[in-house]
Chains A and B, each alone.
Chain A
């Protein structure tokens, strides 16, 4: 060994060899292409197939989408402008967008639904983003009444007297709570019912005669388009969550009777299609109510949609409750919390967090399901697209209307699902 060492020349490199550029196939776009698109014969086939699909759909739809007409009074005029070339006639949207959005809502009152929508976002903001001041929640609580008044109008005393029912419930709860907690809950349920049944009507008429305030009344059959989808969807969503929580708790309850009623309700609603429930609302409700009563179709639909979504919500939340470790319940018991405190402070915050994806999916599903009201004669966007097609001007126009309606639904639903992803990331507390 020393022999060899003595014959070698000591060599120490004192300068760095200049960096060589990587081989052409291992750098930049070519590397990326090789790794991501052409890593093997199977992947290459898939890539070529996808490119073919994309090319084919672009070739089929692209020219049609590019060659558009935005200003025309009818389909025949559109075709004359297009002059034999294939092209989209978005003039129908230009002509009828107000119908697709508002239905037959009086056009000089469009500011009211728009304002209601803007205020809806204001009311939602403190619920959706926790960074905002908590005092804004008061406005969120008042919003249902403001929103109702803006959309339907009529005497301002009607929503106020409805609101007073909740106030009566709150007061009854606080008064009776000093005596007994359980009795306070009963009182809080009974007081508003009593108010609405017997006192709200006289109060409304008395105040209206003394101080007639309010906006122009708009009948429900003037509602249509996305306005109706949003009214049904938003109301259904906001009512179904609390109802769903109650149903889920009822299903988990130790009380045999309460539990079985909840199970039967949930399984029945989940077992039948929504459309049969909507038909029940439109056809059968007259049988179940006292002779001579009839109330608003939109209201009936909202009730049915809420019950429907609540059953699904209950199952989603039950999943969240089941996913909680038993130790959380035992810890709450060990701290001496009573049932509702344990639910409110320990169980529900965690269970709801776990079930966010499911809850949001139910919301999106509910919003999409509002299109089914077309079957009972309400003019939602799809119903209106049929109505527009029935007019002589726009007979035979399909794709432009479908694209417009689909795009609006897509924006809403996609937006909600993105928000839920944000929420999941924000509420994530583990260290993954």
Chain B
């Protein structure tokens, strides 16, 4: 470890002229020697690899181009968040795959977080049987590969669930649950869909066409959350000035839920229930077995990891913090909200986000149950059909890399914001 001080020291001490042997013996130059050697070896290796690749491509009569993305794909994708048919291009298929990856990742992250937080908190509870049950959950799911869980949930969906025909007849073998609104069959799960009687059409943004109604829903919810934040900030200001905190809860509820309910009523929102028609269910939203298996597999598996993170985060807070909060006269609820959680979150959030990253990367296991994600479309069928392994794999890796770097970039911003300011 050469620090700047001892470098200055040697400079003052003896001003010898440069000799070749100093490259090996002198600390000032030695690191340059090592780096040059390292760089040289690396360049040599890279040159060798590139030369081989060029030679191999020439021998196979292939060129290096991404033009295949504009050719018609010629294969179907069963789950299409945007419009797609087999006449469309490979690029379009890759986009559909990417969206499927993101849908699955978000769904699994939500499930994993809910399960993880519940299991992590319950594992710390004084209740003996609940604690044991959660321990069993965490240990069983953590120690068995996620691929196996995905296959198990896939098999449960296809093998153990009733066929749509079982719902037919006067005394059906199976029945829909939740007041005749959800059907779980071996062809997937059918849930009610929200439909608008007066739909606002869709917006053309580049390759995708999102529905204007749903975009507005997102905007209204975001605006509600933002307005609520302003309201709470105002309440805090009033409290700081006068010592009395104005009641805000009914205003919050009004701001958060009022506009969205009005919007739904204005557009004539209603539920479209799935119905048994012919050999299958129609209407509602069809969640395919592959999606359900991936969602449950990834969500429940990662939930076990998040449970451990939450538990460790809560345990990491010194007991003195709770006692200090009680000494200040804070009630248990406020102690949790104002003292424990802000500190525990600092420990919990970074590994939590890295688990979200894991979920996103593990969506690439979709192939096991036939989920058409980015890896199955661009990295699977497209590569097989076009023979463009090199370009396809590179593009796919870049996309995954971009997702990962975005998520870890968010993590870094968060980390630097909540970091303990040390002096």
* Chain A interface residues (CB < 8 Å from chain B): 35-37, 39, 43, 46-47, 50-51, 53-54, 180, 182-183, 186, 254-258, 261, 267-268, 270-276, 279-280, 283-284, 286-291, 329, 332-333, 339, 342, 364, 368-369, 371-372, 374-375, 382, 396, 398-399, 402, 405-406, 409-410, 413-414, 417
With A and B bound together, what is the CA distance between A267 and B1 in angstroms? 25
- Chain B residues with CB under 8 Å of A369's CB are 145
- Chain B residues with CB under 8 Å of A254's CB are 1-2, 31
- Chain A residues with CB under 8 Å of B24's CB are 180, 182-183
Q: Do the beta carbons of B130 and A287 come within 8 Å of each other?
A: no
**Chain B nearest CB: distance from A39 CB in Å?**
7
**Chain B nearest CB: distance from A360 CB in Å?**
12
Q: Do the beta carbons of B404 and A255 come within 8 Å of each other?
A: no
**Is B146 an interface position by the 8 A CB rule?**
yes
**Is B35 an interface position by the 8 A CB rule?**
yes
Q: Which residues from 129 to 174 on chain B have a C-beta closer than 8 Å to any C-beta of chain A?
A: 129-130, 133, 139-140, 142-148, 151-152, 155, 159
- Chain A residues with CB under 8 Å of B33's CB are 182
With A and B bound together, what is the CA distance between A382 and B140 in angstroms? 18
- Chain B residues with CB under 8 Å of A36's CB are 126-129
- Chain B residues with CB under 8 Å of A287's CB are 52-53, 56-57, 389-390
Q: Do the beta carbons of B133 and A54 come within 8 Å of each other?
A: yes
- Chain A residues with CB under 8 Å of B35's CB are 255-258
Q: Do the beta carbons of B52 and A405 come within 8 Å of each other?
A: no
- Chain A residues with CB under 8 Å of B365's CB are 275, 372
Q: Do the beta carbons of B52 and A255 come within 8 Å of each other?
A: no
With A and B bound together, what is the CA distance between A61 and B151 in angstroms? 18
- Chain A residues with CB under 8 Å of B148's CB are 371, 382, 402, 405-406, 409
A selection of 7 A-B contacts at a CB cut-off of 8 Å is: A43-B127, A182-B33, A183-B24, A271-B408, A276-B375, A287-B390, A409-B148
Q: Do the beta carbons of A53 and B389 come within 8 Å of each other?
A: no
Q: Which residues from 358 to 415 on chain B have a C-beta closer than 8 Å to any C-beta of chain A?
A: 361-362, 364-365, 367-368, 375, 379, 383, 389-390, 393, 396-397, 400-401, 404-405, 408
With A and B bound together, what is the CA distance between A414 and B139 in angstroms? 8
Q: Do the beta carbons of B37 and A272 come within 8 Å of each other?
A: no
With A and B bound together, what is the CA distance between A53 and B136 in angstroms? 13
Q: Do the beta carbons of A288 and B49 come within 8 Å of each other?
A: yes
With A and B bound together, what is the CA distance between A273 and B379 in angstroms? 12
Q: Do the beta carbons of B143 and A35 come within 8 Å of each other?
A: no
CB-CB contacts of B1-25 with A at 8 A, as 1s and 0s?
1110000000000000000000011
Size bracket, chain B contacts = 35 or more
Tell me whether A371 and B130 are in contact in the complex, defined as CB-CB below 8 angstroms, given that A273-B400, A276-B397, A402-B155 are known contacts: no
Q: Do the beta carbons of B1 and A364 come within 8 Å of each other?
A: no
Tell me whether A286 and B56 are in contact in the complex, defined as CB-CB below 8 angstroms, given that A261-B42, A275-B365, A402-B155 are known contacts: yes
Q: Do the beta carbons of B152 and A402 come within 8 Å of each other?
A: yes
Tell me whether A271 and B404 are in contact in the complex, defined as CB-CB below 8 angstroms, given that A186-B37, A402-B151 are known contacts: yes
- Chain B residues with CB under 8 Å of A267's CB are 405, 408
Q: Do the beta carbons of B401 and A409 come within 8 Å of each other?
A: no
Q: Do the beta carbons of B393 and A280 come within 8 Å of each other?
A: yes
With A and B bound together, what is the CA distance between A35 and B30 in angstroms? 68
Tell me whether A37 and B129 are in contact in the complex, defined as CB-CB below 8 angstroms, given that A180-B25, A329-B1 are known contacts: yes
With A and B bound together, what is the CA distance between A399 and B397 in angstroms? 35
List 7 other contacts, CB 8 Å, given A272-B400, A374-B368. Answer: A43-B125, A182-B34, A268-B401, A271-B408, A276-B364, A288-B49, A406-B144
**Is B338 an interface position by the 8 A CB rule?**
no
With A and B bound together, what is the CA distance between A254 and B151 in angstroms? 47
List the B residue with the shortest CB-CB distance to A189.
B41
Q: Do the beta carbons of A46 and B125 come within 8 Å of each other?
A: yes
- Chain A residues with CB under 8 Å of B405's CB are 267, 271
- Chain A residues with CB under 8 Å of B151's CB are 382, 402
**Chain A nearest CB: distance from B71 CB in Å?**
20
Tell me whether A364 and B126 are in contact in the complex, defined as CB-CB below 8 angstroms, given that A276-B397, A289-B52, A333-B1 are known contacts: no
Picked from B126, B147, B390, the residue with its CB within 8 Å of the CB of A374 is: B147
With A and B bound together, what is the CA distance between A375 and B379 in angstroms? 12
Q: For B31, B148, B404, which residue has the most chain A Cβ atoms within 10 angstroms?
A: B148
Q: For B127, B368, B397, which residue has the most chain A Cβ atoms within 10 angstroms?
A: B127
List the A residue with the shortest CB-CB distance to B30.
A182
Q: Do the beta carbons of B129 and A47 come within 8 Å of each other?
A: yes
**Is B195 an interface position by the 8 A CB rule?**
no
Q: Do the beta carbons of A414 and B143 come within 8 Å of each other?
A: yes
Q: Do the beta carbons of B1 and A279 come within 8 Å of each other?
A: no
- Chain B residues with CB under 8 Å of A371's CB are 145, 147-148
- Chain A residues with CB under 8 Å of B390's CB are 284, 287
List the A residue with the shortest CB-CB distance to B37.
A186
- Chain A residues with CB under 8 Å of B122's CB are 46
